[in-house]
């Protein structure tokens, strides 16, 4: 069993939103993701999807995109991104009952996959134009702490975030502090499109940015 990751697929099958407005490299990106995913991932593998799953505004619109993900090989673990307006954190349990088997919605909890704990939440960070930063930070930090506590019994822990655990100036923020406090082997995040990232091994933790365009629209292997 292998674990792969890919973030920010930005699917829009119900209400098409051409992604090539963000650059020619996004043209037909869903087709490229599907081809790469289907050729790499085996049925007993797991794929972590680091948020910004769908442009849909309502769950019934998003279900077409979720079905697309469900048809891909492997077990899928999804977290919310800042553009996942169809998925309100309070509705996670209800949505989970409505989506296809093999797709898990992770919101402030951990899931154990073959002895590896995946602790996931959206996260947050200081960005231009962001409002209510303190309130949202406290809430998301609470979710992360709960997930990390649930993961504490496992020897191997992966933190799955949408936002990176550092601010726009690349300085570590409170999320990184908490991850170091509780311990993790890897931190997997998305959200970054064209900006600078923090990646590689830092003080014993491996950081990976898996935004779809950053990794060539090809799921990356994070644990074999």
Residue 220 near residue 210, CB atoms below 8 Å: yes
Sign of the CA dihedral with 96 first, then 76, 81, and 147 last: positive
Q: What's 49's domain CATH number?
A: 3.60.21.10
Whole-number Å distance between alpha carbons of 114 and 75: 12
Residue pLDDT, tens place only, 81-139 = 999 999 999 999 999 999 999 999 999 999 999 899 999 999 998 765 555 667 888 99
Mean pLDDT score of the chain: 94
Q: Is the pLDDT of residue 76 over 70?
A: yes
| Single pTM value for the model | 0.95
| Structural domains counted in the chain | 1
pLDDT of residue 20: 75
For residue 52, what are the domain limits?
Answer: 3-223
Q: If you average pLDDT over residues 65-71, what whole number do you get?
A: 98
**What tokens appear for 24 in the block?**
């020619």
Residue pLDDT, tens place only, 167-207 = 888 899 999 999 999 999 999 999 999 888 999 999 999 99
pLDDT of residue 18: 81
The side-by-side arrangement of strands in the sheet containing 186-189 is 109-113, 116-121, 156-161, 186-189, 205-209, 200-202
Q: If you average pLDDT over residues 193-222, what whole number do you get?
A: 95
Residue 111 near residue 117, CB atoms below 8 Å: yes
């Amino acid at each position: 069993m292998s674990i792969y990751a890919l973030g920010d697929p930005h699917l829009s099958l119900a209400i098409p939103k051409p992604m090539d407005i963000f650059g020619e490299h996004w043209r037909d990106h869903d087709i490229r993701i599907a081809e790469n995913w289907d050729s790499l991932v085996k049925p007993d593998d797991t794929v972590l999807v680091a948020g910004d799953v769908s442009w849909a505004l309502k769950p019934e619109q998003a279900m077409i995109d979720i079905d697309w993900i469900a048809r891909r090989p492997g077990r899928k673990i999804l977290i919310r991104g800042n553009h996942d307006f169809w998925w309100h954190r309070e509705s996670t349990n209800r949505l989970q009952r409505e989506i296809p088997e093999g797709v898990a919605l992770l919101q402030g909890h951990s899931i154990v996959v073959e002895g590896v704990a995946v602790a996931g939440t959206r996260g947050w960070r200081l960005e231009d134009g962001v409002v209510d930063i303190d309130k949202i930070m406290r809430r998301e930090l609470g979710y992360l702490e709960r997930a990390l506590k649930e993961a504490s019994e496992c020897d191997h822990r992966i933190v799955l975030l949408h936002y990176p655990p550092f601010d726009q100036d690349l300085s570590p923020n409170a999320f990184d502090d908490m991850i170091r406090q509780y311990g993790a082997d890897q931190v997997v995040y998305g959200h970054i499109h064209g900006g600078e990232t923090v990646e590689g091994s830092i003080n014993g933790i491996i950081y990976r940015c898996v935004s779809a365009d950053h990794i060539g629209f090809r799921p990356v292997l994070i644990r074999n």
